[in-house]
Amino acid sequence: MTSAVDKRGSEVSPKFRVLLTASLIPPLIMFGSNIVAVSLPSIERSLGASFADVQWVISAYVLILISERETGPMRAEAPAKV
DSSP label at residue 13: P
State the Cα–Cα distance between residues 67 and 59, nearest whole angstrom: 12
What single-letter amino acid sits at 54?
V
Which pLDDT score, from 0 to 100, does residue 5 have? Answer: 57
Q: What are the tens digits of pLDDT across the range 2-46?
A: 555 556 656 778 888 878 877 887 888 788 778 877 888 888 889
**Closest of 30, 26, 53 to residue 40, by C-alpha:** 53
Asked whether 58 and 43 are in contact (CB, 8 A), the reply is no
